[in-house]
Amino acid sequence: MDWSLLFQSYGAIFTSLQVILMALLGATGGVLLGAVPGMTATMGVALLIPFSFGMDLIPSIALLLGIYCGGMYGGSISAILIHAPGTPSAAATLLDGYPMCQKGQAGKALSVALFSSFCGGVLGALIMTFLSPMVAKVAMKFTSAEMLMLAVFGLSVIVSISGKSISKGLIAAFFGLLLATVGQDPTYGAKRFVFSFRPLLSGFSFIPVLIGLFAVSEVIAGVERIVAGDEKQESSHEKLTRVLPDGKTIKTIWPNILFGGIIGTFIGAIPGAGGDIAVFVSYGFNKSFSRHPEKWGTGIPNGVAATESANNGCSGGAMIPLLSLGVPGDAVTAVLLGAFIMKGIQPGPMMYVNELPTVYKVFAALMLANIAMLAVGCVGVRFFAKIVSVEKKMLYPIILIVSLLGAFAINKNVFDIGVCVLFGVVGYLMNKFEFPLSPILLALILGPMCEQNLVRFVDVNNGNFLEILHRPIAMGFFIVSVATIIFSIYNQNKINKREAAAAQAEKAE
Amino acid sequence: MKKTQTKAFSNLVCAIILLIFEGWAYYETYSFKVQKKAYVQPATFPRVMLIGMIVFTLILLIQSLIKVFGTMKENDPDNSPAPPINPFTNKGVLAALFVVLLCCCFTFFFEKLGYVLISAIICAIIMWMVGKRDILVILLVSILVPLVLWFVFYKLLTVNIPMGVLQPLRDLVDKI
């Protein structure tokens, strides 16, 4: 590594007013876009790419990376405040973020999300700076076998997010995997559960399902609670004294941030696997190793930290295969690849030889984008936290019309609004009968990945699935998956026993 | 409390409904096209998922049967009252059902009436339903919020949202 060139590049980026302004502008746009359900970071980058046409490469990359990082954090805002993840990768943030909001700690949840997102992003940028060629080499060893087992590893987390009843969690997960098969079969194009209804040919879009399951169902349940007189809190009046978490909170969440950031970066570096998978893996991993797994899902900062650090850690991870191999790690980096090519630079192994100063400047721009996201987030946290002080009688209808519009906006298709409403009802009923919703989401993300790679692997090996035993990385993932399932079941039994004992002790008193 | 009013009983009913759904879905997989020389058929993955779902539904069914027809500890979480689902006896459930109906109306009239108008109507109805009685606030929120949202999506995010009968408003904004 050329240290002097690295420092020079960082110096050039951090002293250029234009680059700083672009990063701030991008982060502001990203945070705002990410906070709107249905608007993803990919959409933001694609939307603003025309504005970067007239700029030099580095300011335009700073603008786009600002949107990327801002969008990653922005998704958590609506997840925490209104139970509607702004982006798919913020889906796991609501597991603890929304309960924190319900406890009147929305501001704290937002500040933990911001700080963790920043730390995860910085960790990702550092790993990208120092280890990118190495990580890229490992990531490129991923074929269908490894991708299949990565999906299985992701699915193994389901047990730890299933709540009290593992059987209900697994029913929900298999239901999600079944839903992922609706539409045309990805390999042969055969119609499955389409019933001659053309809009179903492409299956259910992920975002409308996500919005329906979490936001619309919450509105239906919220209206029910208000009318039945069960709504405990009309509105929250939390006084936010700090925009960043205090020292005591940081002390408790730093291991989650560290592991989350590392998990996010490595999963982000695998082409085809992004933040949506990383957040659940990080949540499950951190919960499994927690001293108090029973507190996860009840509204603790650790849950928010574990998911948000993994979420933004992915931004650095996804840049690794882009720069070192010319292969985008996710949809946003695919758009970024277009931006590089437009500027006459071809990312790939030769970029490290021919364009090393540019590579280092991109590293620095990602670091700057994370700092810009922190700055914008600090200004915005107080404002965003005010949303929950709006009376719920007004908030619920507003959430409903924003959610339904978000469902439409993703594909500009009325069918998606219908899907959103349908899954709103499904989510409402599932919540009522205590079936967890998150396994469906995880299954919807991982189902297509699982099936496509299974079919590919079996076809390549002439039907011999046992060939997978000769793939060390895949078997490594398999062993970790089995260990995660066993550990999660053990943990859940421990939690159930503790809760039963506590209930008995309470009754005895 | 009667056992038919407990969560254990509602789990039993859920499990039976799920089994019927799973049976139907499994039968439906036989209508999928069979590919020649394919190791993994289009029906294979859905069937495996359905078998998984059936196995865990059966576990839930057996657990519930034991609790409903056998003995259940007093502090068992499944011994608590089942959630209300009857809209005729619970006004909260009736309101929830009404919100679902409004959402269906939103989907149906979205293109005909346009986003702003249908959202304003639905927003006002829900606010009134949950007990908001300040007419001025109801009118302001129901009109301004959809308008601002439409403007942000249309002008800033370049998402074309149907305006229906309010199309002239969009023409006016375009002219300005």
User: In this structure, what token pair is assigned to residue A346?
Assistant: 């071809």
Express each pLDDT in A410-424 by its tens digit.
888 899 999 999 999
Look up tokens 């002097």; give the residue: A4
User: Per the domain annotation, does B84 fall within a domain?
Assistant: no
CB contact under 8 A, B90 and A228: yes
A302, pLDDT greater than 60: yes
- Judge if B69 and B125 occupy the same domain: no
Tell me if A417 is assigned to some domain: no
Contact present, A73 and A370 (Cβ < 8 Å)? no
Checking if the pLDDT of A187 tops 90, the result is no
Contacts of B58 in chain A (CB under 8 A): none
When pLDDT is cut at 50, 70 and 90, the band that residue A329 belongs to is: low
The arithmetic mean of pLDDT across residues A205-217, rounded, is 88
Q: Is residue B159 part of a domain?
A: yes
Using an 8 Å Cβ cutoff, are A438 and A91 in contact? yes
Closest Cα in chain B, distance from residue A483 (Å): 20
Q: Assess whether pLDDT exceeds 70 at residue A507.
A: no
pLDDT (0 to 100) of residue B60:
93
Instruction: Over range A168-189, report the average pLDDT.
Output: 91
Q: Bigger pLDDT: A159 or B135?
A: B135
pLDDT value at residue B75: 75
pLDDT of A235: 57
pLDDT value at A233 more than 60: no
Residues B73 and B100 in one domain: no
Q: How far is A48 from chain B (nearest CA, A)?
A: 10
The pLDDT of A44-66, averaged and rounded, is: 79
Residues of A in contact with B92 (CB under 8 A): 224-225, 227-230
| Domain assignment present for B107 | yes
Shared domain check, B101 and B69: no
In a domain, residue A334? The reply is: yes
The helix (run of H) or strand (run of E) holding residue A153 is helix A144-156
**Region A277-283: what's the mean pLDDT?**
86
| CB spacing of B127 vs A393 below 8 angstroms | yes
Cβ-contact A106, A80 below 8 angstroms: yes
On whether residue B85 sits in a domain, the answer given is: no
For chain A, give the mean pLDDT.
84
* B103 in the same domain as B62: no
A203, pLDDT greater than 70: yes
| Residue B122 with chain A: CB contacts under 8 Å | 397, 400-401
CB pairs under 8 A between A and B: 186
The pLDDT value given to residue A240 = 64
Based on the fold, state whether residues B19 and B67 are members of the same structural domain.
yes
Domain final position from B79, B107, B137: B79
Same domain, residue pair B55 and B96:
no
Residue A298 has what pLDDT?
Answer: 86
> Residues A497-508: what's their mean pLDDT?
71
Mean pLDDT of A186-194: 89
Residue A136 to residues A65, A149, A282, A324, A328, Cα–Cα distance (Å): 20, 19, 20, 7, 11
Q: Say yes or no to pLDDT of A39 above 80.
A: no
* Percent of chain A topping pLDDT 70: 94
**Mean pLDDT, residues A24-50:** 78
Give the ranges where A182-273 is alpha helix by DSSP (H): 206-211, 217-228, 247-268
Asked, for residue B86, whether it belongs to a domain, the answer is: no
Please tell me the distance from the alpha carbon of residue B159 to that of residue A67, in angstroms, as a whole number.
18
Would you say residue B118 lies in a domain?
Answer: yes
Inter-chain residue contact A401 with B122, CB threshold 8 Å: yes
* Residue A351 within a domain: yes
The candidate with the shortest Cα–Cα distance to A474, out of A488, A486, A457, A462, is: A457
Q: Closest Cα of chain A to B32: distance in Å?
A: 6
In terms of domains, do B167 and B98 share one? yes
Residues B138 and B169 in one domain: yes
Boundary (domain end) residue, out of B79, B99, B121: B79
Note down the domain range covering A294.
3-142+249-392
Query: Any CB–CB contact under 8 A between B79 and chain A?
Result: no
- For the purposes of burial, counting CB atoms within 10 Å of the CB of B37, is it exposed (0-12), middle (13-18) or buried (19 or more)? exposed
Q: Which residue range is the domain that position B106 belongs to? A: 91-175
| pLDDT tens, residue by residue, B2-49 | 778 889 999 999 999 999 999 999 999 999 999 888 888 999 999 999
Q: Are A316 and A268 in contact (CB under 8 A)?
A: yes
- As a whole number, mean pLDDT of residues B61-89 equals 86
Amino acid at site A303: G
Q: Flag if A454 and B40 touch (Cβ within 8 Å).
A: yes
Report which of A332, A212, A219, A211 is spatially closest to residue A271, judged by C-alpha positions.
A332
Taking CA–CA distances from B89, the nearest residue in chain A reads: A228
Q: How many domains does chain A have?
A: 1
Average pLDDT over residues A97-122: 89
Per-residue pLDDT reduced to its tens digit, B77-87: 788 888 888 88
Partner A contacted by B111 (CB < 8 A): yes
The reply to whether residue A417 touches residue B157, judged by beta carbons under 8 angstroms, is no
- Nearest CA of chain B to the CA of A217: how many Å? 9
* B16 within a domain of the structure (yes/no): yes
**Share of chain B residues as helix, strand and coil, in percent rounded to the nearest 5:** 75, 0, 25
Q: Rounded to whole angstroms, how far apart are CA atoms A183 and A192?
A: 5
Mean pLDDT of B106-120: 94
User: What per-residue confidence (pLDDT) applies to A243?
Assistant: 78
Q: How far apart are CA A262 and CA A309, in angstroms?
A: 9
Nearest to A401 among B35, B49, B123 (CB): B123
With cut-offs at 50, 70 and 90, classify the pLDDT of residue A38: low
